A and B are shown apart, each in its own frame.
Chain A
């Protein structure tokens, strides 16, 4: 049989497919051009067979088995010999066409995927499944000729993928050097580790890790999280087994990193539909009310703007975009069953899913202008919780460890019966006692990835923090882990949070390591003499009128331009504006050193005089620990002479070289006081000729008085 000719024939609408037709269909399905450069798996399972053949799974597998059986020689000592013989002509012709033996390899993978987990991975277990799918009698431990033939066929597929096609249809992820105990079945097992349906669920895994399309995570780290996630995810038995199998580690890492690299941000269900969230909305307006809001699928040209989805009841709802993230809220209020058991509505390509739960946590969503259910409580951010009444007492116990301020809101009739509502919750440290699984959503969770949370992040990229404000590290998963930062062990608190800010890290790059997972960040001591960029500066605008001023709100200041006439801008303590709009500055006060028991200030005009007793330092300054060295005076005249009364005598000092002027009119007491200052018996310091000359003039003026 010329397999290549068979493959080129169009598939008949009914009846059986030939081996060549299956080979072509399998190649198109598992090795499409979209996988260029990425690991490709021949991971045939029942669902994939059905998808390829367009029938139900059992019929599809039967048809494939029938096609393969048509190439078998059951009575021969080597029933697979025909496949073996097809290899040489295919290779000598350049192997340009689809490998004709692909259906046999696919069935061997199917057999591997069907191995009962209870019986473990063992050749006898595998051969029994293979005999079943091939329709061979269950005699003997092995399938005659299998070991020799299959190793050549798998090598042929590797050659076709990696050499002939150069990875343009995907790169081989076939284990060609398995350990001795599974030497002959290792290749098939390596393809059965992740079924197609498992790989479709990896979108959910990446979302679980809060990754975004374009993110890059090392294989070791991904595999570590995959092992934790696989335990509870609805994966095939093979995938769960492979997750824990050290020998599958390298292949899994390649697949996980490759699938992450090409991930479009979507989570898909078994039918290949994009899975997006259906969130419960909560309005706390009186009376509180529940609703539903559907997330929008990640942007895709194939997704129309307005969708029509069908509920299980058959009811159709129209979904109109509200924002990039949300459709408009639905006019549906979930009841008790909907909350407990979950809800789903589908379009042809999208499944909107609300997972049932006994506890829903809500945070405020500004786009929807209400509270929206989230996966888990945020760390130290306000949230509300709707809890099945059966868990009310356990919720109260759990909330005892929340920040103060939460309260239970009594609701009559507005919410489904049997549910309790709590608001104003801020979850920080967790209680030492175990949290019931039903209330897990109330426990802040950073997913299972090493998560850097909080801290004082600087606007220098996404990983820069102020020294002393390094982030907290949240432990992945629920298992205890040791955290190391730059090789130093850091003990997490009871909430599973390690506070790096308490470590005293120096400025620079730091690496946080938890098992094989690691994250890096930088810490900076300072960003310099920072000023916000012009577009980010804020000022309080005061509109000035002739009488008073008025607050006009906030504006973004333009530092290159002064406020317009008639406006004053206040940034913190700095007021700016046109000189006419700003209050005139006060006169600079005279500062007098503490020490003398009193001062007398005298001006040029007789009668310009003040007497200032020295006061003790004010109470507020003493309390603050400020040493009060100066006092202040702001007389209404310009002081020319300062007389200081020291314990032993009066001293005088010239402060302004101003000649004496005409006496002030009126106020004989002031004139006498002014004259009295010049008769205290003190003189300017020797050597100050200018002061001595002026002093004589002032003495003359005093004599005249």
Chain B
């Protein structure tokens, strides 16, 4: 997928239908021989905060551009949200005329290029946002992580099963050693189900027999993990912050993914059945896990740096 062109197009269009976005994703992807589906490309842009997608109305809308600082981010801010070519050019031109700001572009293999602004004083970034007429949030990662909602599915009674019965159905086996989707004949027992309705996949969650609710797939997986009392999220500390490790079979819901992404401004990396979000403070990781009903597992608690202020006190106690 030509991610930069895809982001430019969504930003320049501003809004549109899912059909338009799907066609654009497919067309851009088809040129590189990448078999990434249009759905996952669009979902990725949503997780990186570039656009909003409403599957009910089948519409999308470009997200407002924003400048925000990274937590424990070395004075780095990122430019995120919509990014028209005009905005990009104005940003570059404005930054080049200021001494206290530096713009760095980072190419990413599976996401649009990331734009980092480095500053000694975040007031410079705030002023830049004002000059560009866009939003400045001193620490959107912190704000968003503290807004993360509880999982709250809406289920109702379907005595004969949900309306899409009859299509190819799979059930999420959350208790297996390697959780995943397994074919199943019908939807009866409580659980999470994935139904292929033509080329759409609908996900239904049933907490008790006879009651079902359509859920986004990511939320559904965590609902089922919570129902089965299984925690899968890990946090691996490093000297400053840490890495949030998410299993491949349980990707973060959109809002949670945005909170994790905002810690580094970089798209998560994937490999070995895991998705890794870097530079995630433990506090943010716990907010994400808590809202998903997960007890986060710290890979090596002895290396875990305490929260930002506490770490400094601890060091001061140790050395002073």
A and B pair up: yes
Judge whether B16 is part of the interface by a CB distance below 8 angstroms: yes
8 A Cβ contacts from B82-136 to A: 82, 84-87, 89-90, 104, 106, 114, 116, 118, 120-122, 133, 135
Judge whether A632 is part of the interface by a CB distance below 8 angstroms: yes
B285-320, CB under 8 A of A: which get 1 and which 0? 000000100000000000000001100110111111
Q: Which residues of B contact A524 (CB under 8 A)?
A: 12
Nearest CB of chain B from residue A456's CB, rounded to whole Å:
4
Q: Which residues of A contact B238 (CB under 8 A)?
A: 618-619
Q: Which residues of B contact A548 (CB under 8 A)?
A: 149-150, 291
Judge whether A434 is part of the interface by a CB distance below 8 angstroms: no
With known contacts A380-B26, A572-B63, A636–B9 Cβ distance under 8 A: no
User: How many chain A residues touch the partner (CB < 8 A)?
Assistant: 93
Judge whether A565 is part of the interface by a CB distance below 8 angstroms: no
Q: Which residues of A contact B189 (CB under 8 A)?
A: none
Is the Cβ of B147 less than 8 Å from the Cβ of A571?
A: no
Alpha-carbon distance between A412 and B319 when the two chains are bound, in angstroms: 78
Nearest CB of chain B from residue A385's CB, rounded to whole Å:
14
Judge whether A381 is part of the interface by a CB distance below 8 angstroms: yes
Nearest A-chain residue to B253, judged by Cβ: A551
A442-482, CB under 8 A of B: which get 1 and which 0? 00000000000011111100000010110000000000000
Nearest CB of chain A from residue B124's CB, rounded to whole Å:
11
Is the Cβ of A589 less than 8 Å from the Cβ of B64?
A: no
Nearest A-chain residue to B164, judged by Cβ: A285
Interface stretch, picked from B54-62, B174-182, B205-213, is: B54-62
Nearest B-chain residue to A624, judged by Cβ: B106
**Contact among B84, B241, B266 with A527 in the assembled complex (CB-CB below 8 Å):** B84
Q: Which residues of A contact B198 (CB under 8 A)?
A: 284, 364, 371, 382
**Contact among A459, A499, A620 with B264 in the assembled complex (CB-CB below 8 Å):** A620
Judge whether B258 is part of the interface by a CB distance below 8 angstroms: yes
Q: Which residues of B contact A649 (CB under 8 A)?
A: none
Q: Which residues of B contact A286 (CB under 8 A)?
A: 166-168
With known contacts A364-B198, A571-B63, A529–B87 Cβ distance under 8 A: yes
Is the Cβ of A611 less than 8 Å from the Cβ of B315?
A: yes
With known contacts A364-B199, A593-B120, A554–B14 Cβ distance under 8 A: no
Q: Which residues of B contact A618 (CB under 8 A)?
A: 74, 238-241, 278-279
Q: Which residues of A contact B72 (CB under 8 A)?
A: 589, 632
Nearest CB of chain A from residue B317's CB, rounded to whole Å:
7
Judge whether A349 is part of the interface by a CB distance below 8 angstroms: no
Q: Which residues of A contact B59 (CB under 8 A)?
A: 536, 538
Alpha-carbon distance between A284 and B24 when the two chains are bound, in angstroms: 27
Is the Cβ of A540 less than 8 Å from the Cβ of B9?
A: no
With known contacts A618-B279, A673-B316, A458–B74 Cβ distance under 8 A: no
8 A Cβ contacts from A614-653 to B: 615, 617-621, 624-636
Is the Cβ of B319 less than 8 Å from the Cβ of A673?
A: yes
Q: Which residues of B contact A659 (CB under 8 A)?
A: none
User: How many chain B residues touch the partner (CB < 8 A)?
Assistant: 99
Q: Which residues of B contact A610 (CB under 8 A)?
A: 312-313, 315-316
Judge whether B146 is part of the interface by a CB distance below 8 angstroms: yes
With known contacts A540-B52, A550-B152, A634-B312, A572–B64 Cβ distance under 8 A: yes
Is the Cβ of A574 less than 8 Å from the Cβ of B315?
A: no
Q: Which residues of B contact A568 (CB under 8 A)?
A: 147
Is the Cβ of B312 less than 8 Å from the Cβ of A632?
A: no
Judge whether A676 is part of the interface by a CB distance below 8 angstroms: yes
Is the Cβ of B144 less than 8 Å from the Cβ of A573?
A: yes
Max chain A Cβ within 10 angstroms of own Cβ: one of B72, B73, B315, B318? B73
Nearest CB of chain A from residue B28's CB, rounded to whole Å:
8
Is the Cβ of B278 less than 8 Å from the Cβ of A529?
A: no
Q: Which residues of B contact A629 (CB under 8 A)?
A: 74-75, 118, 120
8 A Cβ contacts from B147-200 to A: 147-150, 152, 166-168, 198-199
Alpha-carbon distance between A583 and B89 when the two chains are bound, in angstroms: 33
With known contacts A286-B167, A539-B52, A583–B27 Cβ distance under 8 A: no
8 A Cβ contacts from A577-631 to B: 582-583, 585-586, 588-589, 591, 593, 601, 609-613, 615, 617-621, 624-631
With known contacts A589-B308, A630-B74, A573–B81 Cβ distance under 8 A: yes
Alpha-carbon distance between A331 and B6 when the two chains are bound, in angstroms: 44
Judge whether A670 is part of the interface by a CB distance below 8 angstroms: yes
Is the Cβ of B147 less than 8 Å from the Cβ of A542?
A: yes
Is the Cβ of B315 less than 8 Å from the Cβ of A613?
A: yes
**Contact among B104, B308, B312 with A625 in the assembled complex (CB-CB below 8 Å):** B104
Is the Cβ of A459 less than 8 Å from the Cβ of B315?
A: no
Is the Cβ of B150 less than 8 Å from the Cβ of A550?
A: yes
Max chain A Cβ within 10 angstroms of own Cβ: one of B31, B63, B80? B63
Is the Cβ of A454 less than 8 Å from the Cβ of B27?
A: yes
Judge whether A303 is part of the interface by a CB distance below 8 angstroms: no
Judge whether B262 is part of the interface by a CB distance below 8 angstroms: yes
Alpha-carbon distance between A533 and B63 when the two chains are bound, in angstroms: 12
Is the Cβ of B23 less than 8 Å from the Cβ of A624?
A: no
Judge whether B5 is part of the interface by a CB distance below 8 angstroms: yes
Judge whether A403 is part of the interface by a CB distance below 8 angstroms: yes
Is the Cβ of A572 less than 8 Å from the Cβ of B144?
A: no
8 A Cβ contacts from B42-56 to A: 49-54, 56
Alpha-carbon distance between A632 and B69 when the two chains are bound, in angstroms: 12
Judge whether A575 is part of the interface by a CB distance below 8 angstroms: yes
Judge whether A424 is part of the interface by a CB distance below 8 angstroms: yes
Q: Which residues of B contact A469 (CB under 8 A)?
A: 5, 9, 24, 28
A549-581, CB under 8 A of B: which get 1 and which 0? 111011000000000000010111111000000
Is the Cβ of B150 less than 8 Å from the Cβ of A674?
A: no
Nearest CB of chain A from residue B166's CB, rounded to whole Å:
4
Judge whether B247 is part of the interface by a CB distance below 8 angstroms: no
Alpha-carbon distance between A619 and B147 when the two chains are bound, in angstroms: 29
Q: Which residues of B contact A364 (CB under 8 A)?
A: 198-199
With known contacts A574-B64, A619-B238, A625-B104, A533–B15 Cβ distance under 8 A: yes
Alpha-carbon distance between A613 and B87 when the two chains are bound, in angstroms: 39
Is the Cβ of A428 less than 8 Å from the Cβ of B87?
A: no
Nearest B-chain residue to A634, judged by Cβ: B308
Judge whether B255 is part of the interface by a CB distance below 8 angstroms: yes
**Contact among B13, B50, B315 with A572 in the assembled complex (CB-CB below 8 Å):** B50
**Contact among B23, B57, B85 with A554 in the assembled complex (CB-CB below 8 Å):** B57
**Contact among B12, B116, B149 with A626 in the assembled complex (CB-CB below 8 Å):** B116
Nearest CB of chain B from residue A191's CB, rounded to whole Å:
47
Nearest CB of chain B from residue A415's CB, rounded to whole Å:
16
**Contact among A530, A533, A619, A621 with B12 in the assembled complex (CB-CB below 8 Å):** A530
Judge whether B224 is part of the interface by a CB distance below 8 angstroms: no
With known contacts A459-B16, A540-B52, A610-B313, A573–B147 Cβ distance under 8 A: no
A358-379, CB under 8 A of B: which get 1 and which 0? 0000001000000100000000
Nearest 9 CB-CB pairs, A to B? A572-B63, A673-B320, A536-B15, A630-B75, A285-B166, A532-B14, A620-B278, A573-B49, A610-B316
For the complex with contacts A454-B27, A573-B80, 18 further pairs of A-B residues with Cβ separation under 8 Å are: A380-B27, A428-B30, A457-B20, A468-B8, A530-B12, A531-B64, A536-B14, A537-B61, A549-B150, A550-B152, A572-B62, A573-B258, A574-B63, A583-B146, A583-B147, A611-B315, A630-B74, A635-B312
Chain B interface residues (CB < 8 Å from chain A): 5, 8-9, 11-16, 20, 23-24, 26-28, 30-31, 35, 49-54, 56-57, 59-64, 66, 68, 72-76, 80-82, 84-87, 89-90, 104, 106, 114, 116, 118, 120-122, 133, 135, 137-140, 142-144, 146-150, 152, 166-168, 198-199, 238-241, 254-255, 258, 262, 264, 266, 278-279, 291, 308-309, 312-313, 315-320
27 contacts between A and B (CB under 8 A): A364-B198, A364-B199, A371-B198, A403-B30, A456-B9, A456-B24, A468-B8, A469-B24, A501-B31, A526-B89, A527-B12, A530-B11, A530-B62, A530-B84, A550-B150, A550-B152, A551-B149, A573-B81, A586-B138, A586-B139, A593-B120, A610-B312, A613-B315, A618-B279, A626-B104, A670-B316, A673-B316
